[in-house]
Amino acid sequence: MSKVETETAASAKGHAPDESAPGPDTSRSWVQIISAQGILIAFAVFLLGFGLFSDRFLSFENMESVLRSSSIIGVMALGVTVVVLSGNLDLSVGSMLSFGTVMVVDLHDKIGAAPAMGVMMVAVLALGCINGFLVGILKLNSLIVTLGMLSAIQGLTLIYSGGQNVDIAPSTQSTTWFRVFGRGDIAGLDMPIIIFAVLAILLHCAIAFTAYGRRVYAVGGNPTAAVFSGIRRGRVVFSTYVISAACVGFASIILGSRVMGSQNNVGQGYELLVLAGVILGGTSLLGGSGSIFKTVVGVLILGFIQNGLLLMGYPYYAQWIVTWIVIILAVWLDIAGKRGRLFSPIA
Amino acid sequence: MSDHGDDTGSVLRLEKIVKTFPGVRALDGVDFELRPGEVHALMGENGAGKSTLMKVLAGMYQPDGGRIFIDGLRCTLPTPIAAKEMGVILIHQELSLAEEMTVAENIFLGELPRSRFGFVDWGVLDKRVGDILKMLNVDFGPRTKVNRLSIAKKQMVEIARALTHDAKVVVFDEPTASLTDAEKVVLFDIIGDLQARGVGIVYISHRMEEIFKISDRISILRDGSYRGTLITAETDEDAVTRAMIGRSLDLSRDAGDVARPGDVKLAVEGLSCGSLYQDVSFKLRAGEVLGFYGLVGAGRTEIAETLFGLRRPSAGTVTLNGEAVQITSPAEAIAHGLSLVPESRKEQGLVLGMNCRDNITLPQIDNLTSGPFVSGPQEVAIYEKYRERLEIKAPSWRAMVKNLSGGNQQKIVIGKWLSMKPDVLIVDEPTRGIDVGSKAEIHNLIRELAAQGLAVIVISSEMPEVLRVSDRIAAMHQGRLVTIFERDAVTEDDLIQAISGIGVHAA
């Protein structure tokens, strides 16, 4: 053992087990396999489990109802996913939804449906620009900025509405074309579901297949390397907040149209449900990893949990506890998959 | 080999260690033996399995096969804590200190001495840490905050931490990568001291001269398998290199490789950036390699960052291709035909969680679209071109760059910037932490690129590297460009004097 074998040693490798074809996943641990497919497995288990308990659960009507009730959170979660992919958070979407909905409903009777939607969109996008400016250009911490915006926008909403809830006049409710966004359907499929689906496909393509999407992933994965690669990080981050705000604008239209009125705190708590959908889908809060598609799955799981528990006769607030448990499990499995074992080897 | 018997006199023995990762057999039956009081060097190219082996030893990875003996007793090291308790201490390249705490707190973290009431007993702590620091001959005290220290000094803190434990085996993983010569002397003294106390030292380094200076034996890994052990006194660098890469390396410059510089591509006049560097002027021609040599902190990297639009100069002009430019962002620098291979590949060069292809095409992703979407085939074509050109070893373009070895990661970064077809290429510490094989490949590549007419700036802290690749060498000292030497008319002494601020000034 004190002499180095040189060239001949290479032949000793012949004895070694074949290591050709680094095929995928051959030596992954079960933890990693479950983790990689975890969210889809969980999804299937939920569907089957609830399906056994209730024959109504898997019916088309019920599916449609779940999709419909998930669509507002879903649309918002699409935008928040883009923000999270770039390595930031957006907690302001909840009160932004209140703001947008109150505004579009209030303006509907005053200036008409189309101008109301236009003005609301511009206002909400302006809020997104403020977020984007503070986080992207001034490089402030996104948690603090958007948490602050969460309460600031709630205040703005109350100032706008004077503390009153707003309604579309009963006389116009049944005649305005504005009702189509929340109550309409195409070939029997509810409009909110269609809006959610179309936005999901558009954003998925934009993030997964365009140069812009690649920049978002790069900024989230390693902001410094992104800058060294000539990416204007500030602009990318700025744009993600504008996208997030735009999604909130669409969600406001669906919600306003569906309810034909709005409480001035209607979006309260949505920011957490939205974030839950994103995390549950498997998009990393650290940025740089995840996808729009994952978020769609995450949001649907949230929706099915809620629906299944209701069908099983639990009160609606039971879902908050169950959702929390499911998120913890999802996050744990995600981490476990990355380190290849369930428990951290480091105390 | 039997389970025991020939263990007498070895503090650590690894037998037939196997470790596999998805698609890779990182360790393929590796043996290793360490005696008390011995410095045993572990060498191999990047990706040969050194780090993996040491992580097995530190309890961070569990081997899939093989046996570990410490003091002749078979044991398992399921966690880093277990490894520490067995007396195995790993001193990493990447340091793990609590930046906001003091030196003393870091050294005794988790076992701070307590007074009767359960409070930290600062007096005792200061005394114990003070003793250790005195032994290490460092110029900071127990109460210094760690984030005030240089990397080298932080490393001393790590070593101090190891000394407080009853270490049987101390593993040094590239310990001198960021040390100055004076600091190296101190480190080697400490290693000698540990040896005298009967501690076994595993020393991982790519630097031959260090290995031959301090080690007793050298074990060699290649492609995850064990290639034998040499007694340092009975071998030479050539034999070690051959064992590591399976061939002999010619480290000298190719004869007849004289650059025929063309037009001036880059002219810098009186460039200054606050206190970082002042009044730097030089010209760079097509087909020429200009080396920037100096100590860490001499302002070399900062000049590169200014040229690349990452810093604003406080004075001076930059002329690119005969046109005065004011570059305020990397995007503009790229548009002007400038590429920068940055100093730190992991922090600045790569998105580690992205695949190889996406990393290479990142700076030009806007130009690789068909319709609204990025064109996969175009991207793969670029990746394949540079994979072949640079001999990048990756299972496929889908492989995450974080799973590649340091040398291959560096080639990805170089590929990324070559694929931009720049007029001026700046490479900052192109071979830091890279094995000799990849190093030679990268040096040859730089020469080739220059021969093809590229204007290249190479920033390096390694004199052999600067001498090997440069046509002219700019020596820097404390933010000033002391002088520019012609490669053929410079001696090592000239360079050392210039960068230490002694002797000749601007010629």
Tell me what the mean pLDDT of segment A47-72 comes to. 85
Contact B25 A17 (CB under 8 A): yes
Over residues A81-111, the pLDDT tens digits come to 999 999 999 999 999 999 999 999 999 999 9
CA atoms within 13 A on the CB side of B60: 10
| Poorest-pLDDT segment among A192-196, B256-260, B300-304 | B256-260
- With CB atoms and an 8 Å threshold, state whether A22 touches B22: yes
Q: Which residues 219-278 on chain A approach chain B with CB closer than 8 angstroms?
A: 221-222, 224-232
Please state, for a pLDDT cut of 70, what percent of chain B lies above it: 92
pLDDT above 50: residue B188: yes
Q: Residue B347 gets which letter from DSSP? A: I
Q: Does A8 touch chain B (CB under 8 A)?
A: no
pLDDT category, B255, cuts 50, 70, 90? very low
A326: left (phi over 0), alpha (psi -120 to 50) or beta: alpha
B6 has a chain A CB within 8 A of its CB: no
Band (pLDDT 50/70/90 cuts) for residue A33 is: low
CA proximity to B235, closest of B223, B219, B256, B246 = B219
CA distance B501 to chain A (A): 32
A226/B362 touch (CB, cutoff 8 Å), yes or no: yes
| Chain centroid, CA A181 distance in Å | 20
For chain B, list the domains and their CATH numbers. Answer: 12-245 (3.40.50.300), 264-500 (3.40.50.300)
**Nearest CB neighbour to B242, from listed A6, A28, A345:** A6
Contacts of A347 in chain B (CB under 8 A): 79, 81
- Domains in chain A: boundaries: 49-333
Identify the pLDDT of residue A34: 62
Total residue length of chain B: 507
Q: Which helix (H) or strand (E) holds B317?
A: strand B315-320
Q: Of B340, B350, B374, which is closest to A210 when you measure between CB atoms?
A: B374
The whole-number average pLDDT for the span A273-287 is 90
Q: Which of A99, A147, A106, A102 is nearest to A124 (CA)?
A: A99
Name the 3-class secondary structure at A291: coil
Please name the residue of chain A whose CA is at the shortest distance from the CA of residue B81.
A346
The more confidently predicted of residues A61 and A178 is A178
Is pLDDT of B500 > 90?
Answer: no
Residues of A in contact with B31 (CB under 8 A): 1
Mean pLDDT of chain A: 86
- For B302, the token pair is 């900062």
Answer yes or no: do A9 and B227 touch at CB < 8 A. Answer: yes
In B, which residues are within 8 Å of A342 by CB distance?
none
- The two tokens of residue B245 are 């890469």
- Binary contact (A10, B81; C-beta < 8 A): no
**Record: contact B362-A211, CB cut-off 8 A:** no
Cα B285 to Cα A207: distance, rounded to the nearest angstrom: 42
Helix residue spans in A112-210 (DSSP H): 113-132, 142-161, 170-173, 180-183, 191-209
pLDDT: is A168 or B49 the higher one?
A168
CB contact A14 to B (< 8 Å) = no
Dist. CA B317–CA B313, nearest whole Å: 9
User: Chain B closest CA to A286's CA: distance in Å?
Assistant: 11
Enumerate the residues of chain A whose CB falls inside 8 A of the CB of residue B350.
222, 225
State whether B329 and A230 contact (CB < 8 Å).
Answer: yes
How far is the alpha carbon of A243 from chain B, nearest alpha carbon, in Å? 18
Q: Do A228 and B340 touch (CB under 8 A)?
A: yes
pTM over 0.90? The answer is no
| Residue of chain A with shortest Cα separation from B19 | A27
d(CA A313, CA A197): 30
CA-CA distance, B323 to B310, in Å (whole number)? Answer: 20
B452 SS3 class: coil
CA distance A337 to B406: 24
Amino acid identity at A41: I
Taking CB atoms and an 8 Å limit, are A26 and B22 in contact across chains? yes
> In this complex, is the C-beta atom of B15 within 8 Å of any C-beta atom belonging to chain A?
no
Are B218 and B235 contacting, i.e. CB atoms less than 8 angstroms apart?
A: yes
Taking CA atoms, B156 is separated from A250, B61, B161, B172, B444, in Å, by 57, 26, 9, 12, 36
Burial of A165 (0-12, 13-18, 19+ CB in 10 A): middle
- Check CB contact under 8 Å for B351 and A222: yes
Gap between the Cα atoms of B465 and B294, Å rounded: 12
Whole-number Å distance between alpha carbons of A234 and A223? 10
List the single residue in B22, B347, B353 with the smallest CB-CB distance to A289: B353
The answer, for B239 touching chain A at a CB cutoff of 8 Å, is yes
Interface of B with A in 254-313 (CB under 8 A): 308, 310
| Cα–Cα distance for residue pair B482/B475, rounded to 1 Å | 6
Three-class SS state of B134:
helix
The answer to whether the Cβ–Cβ distance between B348 and A224 falls below 8 Å is yes
**For strand B65-70 and strand B73-75, is the pairing parallel, antiparallel, or unpaired?**
antiparallel
- Token couple for A334: 């995600």
pLDDT for the residue numbered B225: 85
- Chain B residue with minimum CA distance to A220: B351
Beta-strand pair B424-428/B455-460? parallel
Is the pLDDT score of A223 beyond 60? Answer: yes
For residue range A315-333, what is the model confidence (pLDDT) as tens digits? 888 888 888 887 788 778 7
Q: Are strands B65-70 and B12-21 parallel, antiparallel or unpaired?
A: antiparallel
Quickly state the pLDDT bin for A37 (edges 50, 70, 90): low
What six digits make up the tokens of A323? 């959702």
Give chain A's radius of gyration (CA, Å).
24
Inter-chain residue contact B331 with A218, CB threshold 8 Å: no
- CB-based contacts of A46: which residues, under 8 Å, 6+ apart? A301, A304, A305, A308
Q: Tell me which residue in A26, A226, A345 faces B80 most closely, judged by beta carbons.
A: A345
ipTM: 0.83
Q: What are the pLDDT digits (tens) for B287-303? A: 999 999 987 678 899 99
By the 8 A CB rule, do A340 and A32 touch? yes
Q: Number of A:B CB contacts under 8 A?
A: 135
- Place A38 in a pLDDT band, splitting at 50, 70 and 90: low
Residue in chain A lying closest to B79 (CA):
A345
Lowest average pLDDT, out of A10-14, A96-100, B89-93, goes to A10-14
3-state secondary structure of A226: helix
pLDDT at A19: 33
Distance of CA B229 to the CA centre of its chain: 24
- For residue B12, the model assigns a pLDDT of 92
List beta partners, residue B359: none
A6 to chain B, closest Cα gap in Å: 6
Radius of gyration of the CA atoms of chain B, in A? 25
Give the separation between CA A47 and CA A30, rounded to whole angstroms.
23
A 326-345 near B (Cβ less than 8 A): 345
Q: Into which CATH architecture does domain A49-333 fall?
A: Orthogonal Bundle (1.10)
